[in-house]
Structure 1
Amino acid sequence: MIVLDWPSSHPIAPGAYGVGIADLLPYPGSEHIAKESTIYIPADQPFIKLSVIMDLLLGPHGCPWDREQTHASLKKYLLEEAYETIEAIDHNDPEALAEELGDLILQPVFHMRLAERTGSFEFNEPLKRITDKLIRRHPHVFGETLVADSDEVLKNWDKIKQTEKERSILAGVPQALPALARAHEVSKRAARSGFEWPDFEGVLDKVHEEVAELREAVAGGDKAHIRDEIGDLLFTIVNIARWQKIDAEDALRLMLNRFQGRFESMEASAEKPLQELTPAEWDQLWNQAKESQKGADLNP
């Protein structure tokens, strides 16, 4: 009995008393497997062990909750684990990052096992596809192509992708991405194709232009027009971030963390209900919170 698709070089040993699949991972019923009909496959690779565990959880003797899941029902967990991983990175917490990466890695393994059980594709198919893709899209590493820098690598990457699928450069940007992240990726790809301002001053000028157009829209009172102009302004701000090699999504998320910290500090410092504060008192509390936060940043 072989549980997974193993490379030909993976070590194996004949089944013997006390050695078998039950030694790879105990599970209900494994004690009844005939030792002479098994081979021992060392479980010293964590990813392999994880994939076996997921297979058992989805099996006849597995977890009722896991067995009820579908690709659609798991979408929210994939997104949740990705954001928790980002938070661990933002906090520069290696312990939390190791924990959250494990939770994140579980999600594709779960989907791969589900797909295998429903006959959509084999468990290893996504791994084979990404391996082939990485080799194909890195001809400067696995082939004879020469590149001068990372910018040239990205341009080659886009050319290869277009050749592979013969579609728009922007077609591969998921519409489900958060809007700022999608805007950053769209503008980056468009710029790599040549649709770009000649210099950073051009981007700044565009901000002033969009602000003026927004003022006109607000004066006109047309909500749809105002919405469109706000969108144009936000997209231009994302381009400012891109030109400065800053991720707009990261910038806004970190700003929100700072704002929340300052607001909570104001709540703690206020000596009366927030609704009763005057504008001057709000300003005073805000400035105190900013100074307190700066001190915390300097003395972590």
Structure 2
Amino acid sequence: MNSRAQQLQAFDRLLDIMDDLREKCPWDRKQTLESLRHLTIEETYELADAILDNDLNEIKKELGDVLLHIIFYAKIGSEKKAFDIADVANAISDKLVDRHPHIYGDVVVENEKEVQQNWEKLKLKEGKKSVLEGVPKSLPAIVKANRIQDKVAGVGFDWEEPRQVWEKVQEELSELNTEIEHGDQEKIASEFGDVLFSMVNYARFINVNPENALEKTNKKFIKRFQYLEEAAKKEGKALSDMSLTEMDVFWNESKKHFR
């Protein structure tokens, strides 16, 4: 691995390249905070994909793309005389020191849960009116539900054990079935949302990240379905002309390859 001096040298090189690009490249000169935003979101999702695939080489590349965006935003900030990369680094360093009094102060904690509770209390002392202020509005719904539940758990608003949460899931499923029988679509959608929210909560209690779990299932389904398509093609068949029974043969085969 690289030494600290080599790491700083590499970072300095990236800063120099960013200066060059901003001065000499027509595309880079044109970019603004707003124009980069959707590209940053895309790069973050690409990093998330690489992490789920456990592809360390790809993770390295995607981290570089994300780092470039951070450097880019800081460069634009310096041009606006608002902040530069040193301000960004110092701001997060100051926050980490302030938020970890059990490391940089005299606070004693017993476990991870107490660290999380202290974190949320410190944020309220910093001026936040609600522990939920830090949950971005644009997060995907499942990720947002998970973050909301993490946040409120950090101040003690939580179930005591997984069994209670599972009972809540069952209760929400029952309420959903009732509304399905009544046929009110708006209430059905509302109860379905409650089921999903309770399942996300249960995932937290059994140490499962619901977003990651669902995305892994998405990837698995895609691979299995594409296997089905290829198997049918090899036999000269179109899926639209096959019965479900015929497709099930290939589908069951795909499960042996993609678990």
The answer to whether TM tops 0.5 is: yes
Q: Spell out, residue by residue over 1:221-246, the C-alpha distance to the aligned partner (whole angstroms, 9 max, x if none).
A: 33222221111111111011100111
Would you say the 8 A contact 1:84–1:100 is kept in 2? yes
Q: Give the match for residue 290 of structure 1.
A: 255
2:209 to 227, 243, 247: 247
Q: Give the match for residue 159 of structure 1.
A: 121
Q: Output the CA distance in 1 between the equivalents of 2:184 and 2:12.
A: 58
State the shift of 1:219 in Å. Answer: 2.6
Q: Give the match for residue 164 of structure 2.
A: 202
Q: Give the match for residue 53 of structure 1.
A: 17
Q: Output the CA distance in 1 between the equivalents of 2:181 and 2:56.
A: 51
State the shift of 1:123 in Å. Answer: 3.6
Q: Spell out, residue by residue over 1:116-161, the C-alpha distance to the aligned partner (whole angstroms, 9 max, x if none).
A: 1123323422111101001111111111111111111111111111
**More deviation, 116-125/252-261:** 116-125
State the shift of 1:279 in Å. Answer: 2.2
Amino acid at match of 1:286: W
1:176 aligns with 2:141: no
1:58 aligns to what SS in structure 2? Answer: helix
Would you say the 8 A contact 1:54–1:110 is kept in 2? yes
Q: Output the CA distance in 1 between the equivalents of 2:107 and 2:257.
A: 53
**More deviation, 45-54/259-268:** 45-54
State the shift of 1:213 in Å. Answer: 1.6
Give RMSD over aligned pairs.
1.9
Greater helix percent: which structure? 2
Q: Spell out, residue by residue over 1:53-100, the C-alpha distance to the aligned partner (whole angstroms, 9 max, x if none).
A: 2122222xx111111111111111111111211222222222212111
1:75 aligns with 2:40: no
Q: List 4+ stretches of structure 1 deviating above 3 A.
A: none
Unmatched 5+ residue regions in structure 2? none
Would you say the 8 A contact 2:200–2:210 is kept in 1? yes
Unmatched 5+ residue regions in structure 1? 1-10, 12-41, 295-300
Amino acid at match of 1:275: S
Q: How many corresponding residue pairs?
A: 252
Would you say the 8 A contact 1:210–1:229 is kept in 2? yes
Q: Output the CA distance in 1 between the equivalents of 2:8 and 2:87.
A: 22
State the shift of 1:44 in Å. Answer: 6.2
Percent identity, aligned pairs only, is 38
Q: Output the CA distance in 1 between the equivalents of 2:8 and 2:250.
A: 56
**More deviation, 103-112/190-199:** 190-199
Q: Output the CA distance in 2 between the equivalents of 1:58 and 1:223.
A: 53
Q: Give the match for residue 238 of structure 1.
A: 200
Query: Aligned ranges for residues 31-110 of structure 1 at < 5 Å?
Result: 45-59=9-23, 62-110=24-72
1:81 aligns to what SS in structure 2? Answer: helix
2:126 aligns to what SS in structure 1? Answer: helix
Q: Output the CA distance in 1 between the equivalents of 2:220 and 2:8.
A: 43
1:232 aligns to what SS in structure 2? Answer: helix
Q: Output the CA distance in 1 between the equivalents of 2:42 and 2:128.
A: 33
Q: Output the CA distance in 2 between the equivalents of 1:203 and 1:279.
A: 37
Would you say the 8 A contact 2:121–2:155 is kept in 1? no
Amino acid at match of 1:63: C
Q: Spell out, residue by residue over 1:176-234, the C-alpha distance to the aligned partner (whole angstroms, 9 max, x if none).
A: 11111111110111122222223211111111211122122223333222221111111
Q: Spell out, residue by residue over 1:258-282, the C-alpha distance to the aligned partner (whole angstroms, 9 max, x if none).
A: 0001000111112321112212223
